[in-house]
Chain A
Amino acid sequence: MGQMQTLSRRAFVFGSAAVAGGIAFGAYSRAEAAAPGDDGNPLAAGLGPNSVTFNPWVEISPDKITLIAQHADIGQGVGSVQPIMIAEEMDLDPGQFEVRFADPSPAYFNTGFADEFAPFVAADQSPAAEEARAATLEWLRKSGLQMTGGSSTIPDTYQKLRVAGAVARETLKAAAAKRSGIAMADLRTQSGHVILPNGTKIAYVALAAEASKIPPVLDAQPRDPSKWRMLGKPMMRLDVRAKVMGELKFGIDLKTDGMLYASVKLNPNKGQPLKSYDASKAQSMPGVRKILEIKNGVAVIATNSWYAMKAVDAIACEWAPSAYPAEQADHWKVLESSFKPEFLGKEWRKIGDVDAGLKTGKLVEAEYRAPYVAHQPLEPLNGIGLVTDKGMEIWVGHQSPRFVQWVAATAIGLKPEQVTFHNQWTGGSFGHRLEYENVRVLAEIANQMKGTPIKLVFSREEDFLQDIPRQIAIARHRGSVDRSKIVAADLQLASTTPLKGLLERSGTPSKDPDGQLAAGLWNVYYDIPNFRATSYEAQGLSPSTTWRSVGASTSGFFTESFIDELIHAAGLDPMQARIAMCTVPHYRKVLETVAEMSDWKGPLGNGRGRGVAFVESFGTPTAEVVEVTATDRGIRIDKVWVAVDVGKVVDPVNFENQVQGGVVWGLGHAINCELTYANGAVQQTNYNHHEAMRIYQCPVIEVRGLENDPKVRGVGEPPVPPAAPALANAIFAATGKRIREMPFNKFIDFV
């Protein structure tokens, strides 16, 4: 962790220092990243007798084969596709291996962040851009940044896990060759066995001891995708059956001997301490064992979660006031006054002469707003903690294993290595399980209850109150059109900083501009001769964090709504104009595909309307068309078409499910969700205040995956950003009403 902290600043200054200084790290190659970090293979330490591990992802004992999922499963299906990528190469079938989540280790550093962290837009494949990405990769390797997020699981693991599987397969063949005296070239593998020319089968598990005594075949290469048995084809996610049968245990379902239950009431003025409390009423309530004071609130220990929740609810607390404005209106005022040089984040991109361009033709100006929004996965924050004289053990679903160690240890005066972390299947995240509210208070509680395992469950209300929200933002965009062409766009936004906030709370603060405020703002691929993208970072507002698609969740709405306004001002068709302006050929293809899917032929009339939006986020270009009807009961969303280019679709059924889910997420929150502060606390504390989409509003969503991008990309987040602007643009087409602020139900009714 020490090294991670000292290195953290470097990651975000590559654009200026490392690259400009001409540091070259050679050819950029994902395969290179398959080598373990400085600490070597973390599986080696825990290996039983006669067992073998070839790399941090494969472990074989005489009894079983275990494949390691390094990225956390937050519902996006990576607890399945990661081991299947290994199994594909090892010739293993589902059912022949167990899956275990990775322990904290720098060996599991995320190579997939190299593209997102390097300061170049995704479509830029120039040598300078690739050099910066290679340099970022080296930093990631050194820092050991182990994190799930940023739609990076597939980009990170696509190559390295298939290499890991290939190495395992070839080494097992080498062991069988040694045993049988038959040349490796004459051996093949199938269904968990090495097969000799005479048909004799040797199970992998029977080769474990011998394989551990020979050097691994490190030059093994993964197979060509044309040879795939499972990947790229419709396949069953490994977790589906257990989830449907109710057999899968989420973190919240775990139980240990002697365990007691805890619930908390924490200062809703986020980050502020408890001043005083009165627990006289709670003390005598049923099931209550103990009442504890912790740094920012109180906890009740009881014999049942419900007893703990009821009792903690009965404690009267006096809180220290918020460090941010107590009332929502003042949050907006701070944002409004943040478009000033002293709050400049960065001028991310400048093309041509923007000021001159804005004076040409017709000027269009618009202001957009996006509120704080909650994550609120359906499984509330929870965890089990046990503190003993040796250290702490924690069972919790989280996206950043090493940061969990650091946060828990720091809370109770331990060293990170004294915290043993067991990752869990989680009931969703959307960015929530990158934060630490449950981890920190669980450490404090378990530390006061030494020797007793404590299961902490946040009530839904507490979860809402402590949810560090999506950034709030205002955009002030200006542009001009002349002779049916957009001649200038000057995109400016003021926002709170999601990534910077997360990094600070993770113990790795950065002073550099928040790169997520560039997402959706600077990566605009339209031929606009005079273009500028600038971010301002508002100070002193609510802490903010990463929410599914992060910066692009707000900027995508601002940018693609404004582009639509400019296209309208130019008198052009929203789809044809985007296609004509798109400068990246395979991105243009994404737009053309969605036009073809939706049979786009211009205005529909009769109260019906279509909107289109195109956003590249996390390297994945995504275009969506939303069709709505203005009915007498409000706007009804009839259908959505989505085209996404991920370079390679590795898990097609899950791919479709992720894209549809992303669209539902984007639409639902744009329609009816916001968090607002009053007296320093958010006013929305359950789903009736923050509903998002239910099934009755869900349209038919048609999805097509394209494979033209030169790199393999992720898809968990990219379908989110185009949903809101495509809907707003559709409402404009149907009604003539331009909605410039989320949630839209403040301005128009929905069926």
Chain B
Amino acid sequence: MIELTVNGIKHRVDVVPEMPLLWVLRDELGITSPKYGCGVAQCGACTVHIDGKAVRSCQAHIGEVAGKSVVTLEGLHNKDQHPVLQAWIAHQVPQCGYCQTGQIMQAISLLASIPKPTDEQINQVMSGNLCRCGTYPRIRAAIHAAAANKMAEK
């Protein structure tokens, strides 16, 4: 049995320690906002926060995650008022939407370290998150809007 904390709730799972966190979340715990896209850290659809940092959950073995705090989009604090989620809705970013939960988790991490990113900084941090539908112009706009909203709150 491996113990882990996801969105503040402790879980015990009976899987091999090599299993990627992604598959523990999805198939063992039924937490589906982290998506399987590539399995090799090429697409970012599986992005979650571990101890506050954006991590590709397809690359984090569950054995190494034990004892750490995992947050998925489901567990974001103040989710209904979250400035990044609000900006994503206002700009109607999603098309198919499959990559967007990962994009959002990456963007939240970006804004935590760079409160007002330039386009260049957005490009650098967000380029690991693939969007096959091509919503990039809207992702950029939503990140700028979220940054402005967060600034306004302060």
Contact = CB atoms under 8 A, between A and B. Distances in A.
A459 interface: yes
B33 A246 contact: yes
Nearest to A458: B36
B92 A377 contact: no
Interface in A226-254: 236-237, 239-241, 243-246, 248-250, 252-253
Given A244-B85, A377-B98, A428-B133, A304 B28 contact: yes
Interface string A300-315: 0000111101000000
Nearest to A377: B132
A426 interface: yes
Contacts of B114: none
Contacts of B133: 75, 428, 661, 665
A696 B132 contact: no
A378 B130 contact: yes
A695 B123 CA distance: 6
Interface in B23-55: 23, 26-28, 30, 32-33, 35-40, 42-43, 45
B67 interface: no
Contact of A378 (B33, B45, B138): B45
A239 B97 contact: yes
A665 B30 CA distance: 32
Interface string B64-107: 00000000111000010000010011001111111111001000
A654 B92 contact: yes
A245 B88 CA distance: 10
B96 A662 contact: no
A377 B132 CA distance: 6
Contact of A427 (B27, B35, B89, B127): B35
A25 interface: no
A727 to B, nearest CB: 15
Given A240-B89, A244-B89, A700-B137, A426 B42 contact: no
Most chain A CB atoms below 10 A, which of B85, B97, B129, B135: B97
Interface string A384-426: 0000000000000000000000000000000000000000001
A77 B136 contact: no
Contacts of A252: 35-36
A457 interface: yes
Most chain A CB atoms below 10 A, which of B45, B72, B96: B96
B126 interface: yes
A653 B97 CA distance: 15
Contacts of A50: none
Nearest to B15: A304
Contacts of B39: 309, 459-461, 686
A695 B136 contact: yes
Contacts of A457: 36
A688 B42 contact: yes
Interface string A455-468: 00101110000000
A304 B27 contact: yes
Nearest to B40: A686
B122 interface: yes
B19 A245 contact: no
B104 A244 contact: yes
Contacts of B72: 246
Contacts, number: 172
Nearest to B104: A244
B32 to A, nearest CB: 4
Given A75-B96, A244-B85, A249-B32, A305 B27 contact: yes
A668 interface: yes
A739 interface: no
Most chain B CB atoms below 10 A, which of A243, A286, A664: A243
B16 interface: yes
Interface string A8-36: 00000000000000000000000000000
B104 A660 contact: no
Contacts of A203: none
A328 to B, nearest CB: 23
A377 to B, nearest CB: 6
Size class of B's contact patch? 35 or more
A304 B132 CA distance: 26
Summarize B's interface: helix, strand, loop or mixed. Answer: loop
Most chain B CB atoms below 10 A, which of A237, A246, A377, A688: A246
A261 interface: yes
B68 to A, nearest CB: 19
A343 interface: no
B55 to A, nearest CB: 17
B136 A244 contact: no
Interface string A424-446: 00111010000000000000000
Interface in A668-705: 668, 686-688, 691-696, 698, 700-701
A691 B38 CA distance: 12
B147 interface: no
A243 B132 contact: no
Nearest to A380: B36
Contacts of B33: 246
Contacts of A287: 15-16
A693 B131 CA distance: 8
Contacts of A535: none
B97 A427 contact: yes
Contacts of B16: 286-287
B130 A657 contact: no
Contact of B129 (A239, A377, A665, A695): A695
A237 B94 CA distance: 9
Given A261-B27, A696-B127, A378 B137 contact: no
A663 interface: yes
Given A661-B134, A696-B123, A306 B20 contact: yes
Most chain B CB atoms below 10 A, which of A427, A654, A701: A427
A633 B123 CA distance: 16
A246 B101 contact: yes
Contact of A244 (B26, B98, B100, B132): B100
Given A657-B138, A700-B137, A304 B19 contact: yes
Contacts of A427: 35, 96-99
Most chain A CB atoms below 10 A, which of B22, B33, B124: B33
A695 B127 contact: yes
A657 B92 contact: yes
A336 interface: no
Given A243-B97, A255-B30, A695-B129, A687 B36 contact: no
Contact of A379 (B98, B104, B134): B98
Given A246-B72, A459-B39, A696-B123, A668 B134 contact: yes
29 contacts: A75-B96, A76-B95, A236-B92, A244-B104, A246-B72, A252-B36, A286-B15, A287-B15, A304-B15, A306-B22, A309-B39, A378-B96, A378-B98, A378-B99, A427-B99, A428-B133, A459-B39, A460-B37, A460-B39, A653-B92, A661-B134, A664-B136, A686-B40, A687-B38, A688-B42, A693-B134, A694-B130, A695-B127, A696-B123
Given A77-B95, A378-B131, A665-B134, 15 more contacts: A243-B97, A243-B100, A244-B104, A255-B30, A304-B27, A305-B27, A305-B36, A306-B22, A377-B96, A378-B99, A379-B37, A380-B37, A460-B38, A665-B133, A686-B42
The 3 closest A-B pairs by CB, nearest first: A75-B96, A427-B98, A664-B134
Interface of A: 74-77, 236-237, 239-241, 243-246, 248-250, 252-253, 255, 261, 286-287, 304-307, 309, 376-380, 426-428, 430, 457, 459-461, 653-654, 657-658, 660-665, 668, 686-688, 691-696, 698, 700-701
